[in-house]
Structure 1
Amino acid sequence: MVEPQADGTARTAVVDPPARDPLGANPSHGVLVRVRTLLPEFTGALQRVAEQVLDDPAAASRATIVELAERSGTSPATVTRFCRALGFDGYADLRLGIASETGRARSAGWTVDIGREIQPGDPLDRVLGQIMAADTQAMHDTASLLDLGEVDRAAAAIATAQRVNIFGASGSALVGEEMQFSLHRIGVPAWAWTDVHNGLASAALSRQGDVALGISHSGETGETIELVAEASSRGATTIALTSFPQSPLAELADIVLLTATQATTFRPDALSARHPQLVVLDLLYVAVAQRTHERSHAAFQRTAQAVHGHKAAKDGAAPI
């Protein structure tokens, strides 16, 4: 295919295969969230269109198909392929979706504009507003991305597992440790591993019916992929918690739970993923507790009684 360039000359463009939309064509999925999620999978001309839309969504919602093609240095045919890759029938549907999102953002005011840098002299109330806006948007986007059927499958696997191994590195390891604590509280035998050697030893002992949960924002953390792959080779059901549905970790896993992040200038993407990850794991934990209601209820009672004597005495009375 030949595409015109700014100087009037022509060049042969790389033809990108239409990207598979892992989120489906569900209108409830935010358009911009879907574009951000698929961006790493786009190449060449499709990637330039995606970047143009993300750089200035409001302008994209007002532009004609020819104008968007010119701004991205592509062609109307490429923009049409971009729309179809997102699950839209045509450009009009894409514009409508973007306009709807940008309209909501404008009505919400500056607190949704989490792209601004936080200056050293900014008052703390504004800093708090920026942080809350970023986290709140990321969690709303995660809710729109999340496949509840996959959550239900993951909960069913964990509820009946003899052993649950949780793998993650750095910030993902901290999130994994919280999940391990929650599962232990309801009687699910779970371990969170951060050391590769110990994790591999545990993964190698996995059996059919066990579960391996790998947590990685990028889905490209080598150690986490290695640990999940080892558990998978031993017959464990594998679950990936990631922001990228076509990452190596997601491709490896039997069940994929997606999170969204809201890019900010004051926090790396990996840290931005932490709160959405916790939301998804909280949902998964509650779903497991629901499936094991009687066991969980008894576990809550026993664990509360076990630590009761270590709680601070009320009204000066000695703890019982």
Structure 2
Amino acid sequence: MRARIAEILDRLSPAERKVAELVAADPEGAMGANLAGLARSAGVSEPTVIRFCRSLGLKGFADLRLALARGEAAAGPARHAITPDMPLPRVAEAVLDGAGEVLAALRASLDRAAIERAALALLRAARVEIWGCGASAALAQDLAFSLFGLCRGVAARHDPQMQAMAAAALDGDAVAICLCGTGRAPAMVALAKQAAEAGATVIALAPPHTPLAAAATLLLPCPLPDAPEPQAARLSRLAPLLLGDALAVSVSLLSPPAVRDRLARMQAARGD
């Protein structure tokens, strides 16, 4: 990132250069800041920060944080692709290195406002449908377990026909949560569009800038891991799993006392 900034520094306006110098001097601080905070630290306006991002060839501030996270992860211990002849101790290190990069990218792209809006929508919903496809089917079941007792009418579905029938019965009082590791599965995108057209709130846990992200009412971004297959497929489960946990905890904290009391009784009944 410092090299990219150095390449364009002479072409930036004086205000944009302030942002560039701040980011180059403290990439970790910039990665952890929000748009208003970075603008305030640089002594410029928020639109100036956005213009700086676009001068770097990025779409906006979220992409800048993601690029910084990837750069910081790349600057750490090198992560190697897992190969058949790799020593077993190194395999564990490679898996953990990859997980660390996923967490850094997820932290950088986290949309706190979207998490809050999604949690409030779930609390208000009369029905919550959770749909997963492929490897995301198990994640849908896990999220349904976390939301059961907090929300009304929670159901997880992985069968395409059952998902289609459920989508046909949705209305404005419902929430549909769509999980897809690539964000490009045609059937899931079609379901999301159908649910949105019916007036339901559609929450997508998917990579940004994908068809599913575009079809959703609310996007909780799950950046794709920068790793070779099949390691990327395994790592891609981490972001939606953790975001699902964050969403469930947010719903729990926002729930009225009666809901929390009911959840406590359910936990006691199952011996937790």
* TM-score of the aligned structures, taking structure 2 as reference length: 0.72
Change (3 A) 1:81 1:181: closer
Instruction: Quote the residue 1:132 is aligned against.
Output: 96
From 212, 219, 227, the counterpart of 1:249: 212
The equivalent of 1:83 in structure 2 is 56
Partner of 2:5: none
Matches within 5 A, 1:45-84: 83-84=56-57
Structure 1 residues without counterparts, runs of 5 or longer: 1-24, 31-79, 89-93, 312-320
CA distance in 2: counterparts of 1:119 and 1:100, whole angstroms: 26
Q: Unaligned 5+ residue runs, structure 2?
A: 1-19, 24-29, 33-52
Q: Distance in 1 between matches of 2:135 and 2:31?
A: 27
Aligned residues: 223
Return the offset for 1:227.
Answer: 1.7
Deviations 1:128-162 (A, max 9, x none): 11101101210121011011101111111011101
1:118·1:266 contact (CA, 8 Å) conserved in 2? no
User: Aligned partners of 2:99, 2:69: CA distance in 1, in Å?
Assistant: 21
RMSD of Structure 2 on Structure 1 (CA): 3.0
1:194 paired with 2:158, answer yes
Corresponding letter in the other structure for 2:56? C
Q: Residue 225 of structure 2 aligns with which residue?
A: 262
**Are residue 299 (structure 1) and residue 272 (structure 2) matched?**
no
SS at match of 1:206: coil
Number of the residue aligned with 2:193? 229
- Greater helix share, 1 or 2? 2
Q: Show the counterpart of 2:250.
A: 287
User: Cα distance, 1:169 vs. partner?
Assistant: 0.5
Q: Which residue of 1 aligns with 2:184?
A: 220
Report the equivalent of 1:119.
83
Deviations 1:238-267 (A, max 9, x none): 111111x22111111111110123322353
2:270 alignment partner, SS class: helix
Q: Give how far 1:291 is off.
A: 1.1
Residue 175 (structure 2) pairs with residue 211 (structure 1): yes
C-alpha separation between the residues in 2 aligned to 1:197 and 1:207? Answer: 18
Change (3 A) 1:221 1:101: closer
Residue 274, structure 1, aligned to residue 237, structure 2: yes
Residue pair 2:54, 2:60 contacting (<8 A) in 1 also:
no
CA shift for structure 1 position 123: 2.8
Give me the identity figure in percent: 27
